[in-house]
Chain A
Amino acid sequence: MKKGERRMIIAFVLPVVIVYLIFYLYPTVRTVYMSFFKTGALSSAASKWNFVGFDNYIELIKKSIYLTSFLNVFKILVIGGIAVFTIALFFAVIMQDKFRGRNFLKSIIYLPNIITPIALVVMWTQYIFSSNFGLLKKIFTALNLKGLAGIPWTNPEYSFWAMLIAFCFGSVGYYMIIYMAAMEQIPKDYYECASLEGANKLKQFWKITLPLLKETTKTCLIFWAGSAINFFTWSRVFNANPLNVGTIVPASYMYTLAFGSAHAVGSGSLEVGQATAIGVMLTLCILIVYAVVYKIFGKEKYEY
């Protein structure tokens, strides 16, 4: 290796190594370390921390709001995941017909992905879910579904489902586009061959399309797990009270424990140590989900 070449490699790569060490590695290690201490508020000096072992974790498990927050994320991950992937896959199949206006539909379905969650939350809570002039109420009234029209979506007992619907509605476009591109890559002669042998379209979908989408689905599931477990902004702003049991998620609860919240009722004193323990549990969750996804989908790939 020439001298100039080595100098370039060092100069170009060193900054990203430093970013990784300072921004990713150090905070991760530090968070894990802090989760074993009783720390008090953020401003308290490290010398005043008390080592308490797993006390933070044990205390958290005793709090019902902590368990609720993890249950909510689990529901987002599983129920939301099933809904989003089913609809995205279905739309992608329909989009394989090259009908007119297809590109327009595609870009509108993706549109929510480029809008800030805050604006989407305003649109959903102040308009679509409104119990006075809401879009959903109008649709259900027009269809004469009085029971559905009367649902007070913005009330706390419905807020989880309202939030999940709004979030999933926006997510469909992203996965639809990925599936569309993946389906277009499957060679057409597979289907011709299957047709000649007498397999109908439905059978072709189950036996050819789905198995060949395995790799794509694995990638998408990893993305989905990431966005479900990192769930923060929607939970934070969907309800006026960030500690509302319907919309609370671990990341949001962790934030409240560390930084407090101007309008959270009963948030109690700041407990940074407990907050970091939540972060560690969240990271474990991501790793478990990744392990499960890799286990289910295996390592072997179909080459085509």
Chain B
Amino acid sequence: MKALRKKLEELKLLHRIGRVILVLWVIFTVVAIGWVFCASLSTSKEIFSDKVLASGFHLDNYIRVIKLYNIAKYFMNSLIYTGLACAGVIVLIAPASYVLANYAFKGRNIIRSAYISTMGIPGIMLMIPMFMIISKLNLNKTPLAIVLIYICTSAPFTIFYLLGFFSTIPQSIQEAALIDGCSHMKAFWRAVFPLAQPGLITVTIFNFISIWNEYMWALVFVNTERRRTLSLGLQAIVDGMRTSGDWSGLFAAVVIVFIPTFILYILLSEKIMSGITGGAVKG
């Protein structure tokens, strides 16, 4: 009995140590991100002499970055590409997932397994032929190319997520709309689609974050002065760092890139947390 109690106490201790490690881990993250915020408001000299914020807030870093490095333009580019791709993927995938989830027809399982198989294909494997197709269509370095690419790369995840979601929407809703005289397609858009908002919003949050942060495809298709995304613009600043030495500007740019997804995360973290586990738990 005594040995057992001792063991239990050790275990409690283990939990306590675990909690301390957890808290230290979080402090580390907060300090690192907090320092980047502070550095973005300091001068480059202060950053180098390890005295961030010594002379108060320098909001002019942000103004300089926006003017000098075209960051505002890149921000708009990212917003346009991400917004259009998020909308496009919903228009394309929502109806398809609904049909794939609720109607039995020939080829349904083939389509499902085809999309599951895309998990085994590295994105870079598709890149060279895609580059050739896009070049042949004269779409290279155009917004249309990158939006189409993002719609295609987001398709598999969106299908998996929405398949599960649409199978929970009762078919009687579609039937009710049919009785009211809608055609099948109209019934979907008028009756089922609006009811699916919660699932569509969650999947769009995930698509937004991953497209906003995407780098590889943007590097191939829109890495020009005018068409760059924020990630590419930030990397261009990093590359220019060795000559410009504008450290505070660099950190200000990091904050600008980080802010949109961060705000989304603060507002919607509960939805994001439950969305992550939606597909993964219990296989």
A contact set with B: CB distance below 8 Å: 1-2, 4-5, 7-9, 11-13, 15-17, 19-20, 22-28, 30-31, 34, 42, 90-91, 93-95, 97, 99, 104-112, 114-119, 122-123, 126-128, 132-133, 135, 174, 177-178, 181-182, 185, 198, 200-202, 215-216, 218-220, 222-223, 226, 229-230, 232-233, 236-237, 240, 251, 254-255, 258-259, 263, 272, 275-276, 279-280, 282-283, 286-287, 290, 301
Q: Provided the pairs A13-B99, A109-B26 are in contact, do residues A5 and B184 lie with their beta carbons within 8 angstroms?
A: yes
Q: Which of B23, B39, B111, B250 contacts A16 (CB 8 A)?
A: B111
Question: Smallest CB–CB gap between B140 and chain A, Å?
Answer: 11
Contact B122 A279 (CB under 8 A): yes
B contact set with A: CB distance below 8 Å: 4, 7-8, 11, 15, 18-19, 21-23, 25-26, 28-33, 35-36, 39, 47-48, 50, 92-93, 95-96, 98-100, 103, 105, 111, 114-115, 118-133, 151-152, 155, 159, 183-185, 188, 209, 212-213, 215-216, 219-220, 230-231, 234-235, 238-239, 242, 247, 250-251, 254, 257-258, 261-262, 264-265, 269, 272-273, 276-277, 280-283
Which chain B residues lie closer than 8 Å to A9 at the CB level? 99, 103, 105
Q: In terms of DSSP, what is the predominant structure of the interface of chain B?
A: helix
Question: Smallest CB–CB gap between B276 and chain A, Å?
Answer: 5
29 interchain pairs (CB within 8 A)?
A4-B183, A8-B183, A12-B99, A13-B100, A19-B92, A19-B151, A19-B152, A20-B114, A23-B126, A42-B132, A97-B19, A105-B23, A106-B273, A107-B265, A107-B269, A109-B22, A114-B272, A116-B213, A116-B257, A118-B257, A122-B254, A215-B283, A216-B281, A219-B280, A222-B119, A233-B215, A233-B216, A255-B216, A286-B121
Contact A177 B277 (CB under 8 A): yes
Question: Smallest CB–CB gap between A278 and chain B, Å?
Answer: 8
Contact B155 A181 (CB under 8 A): no
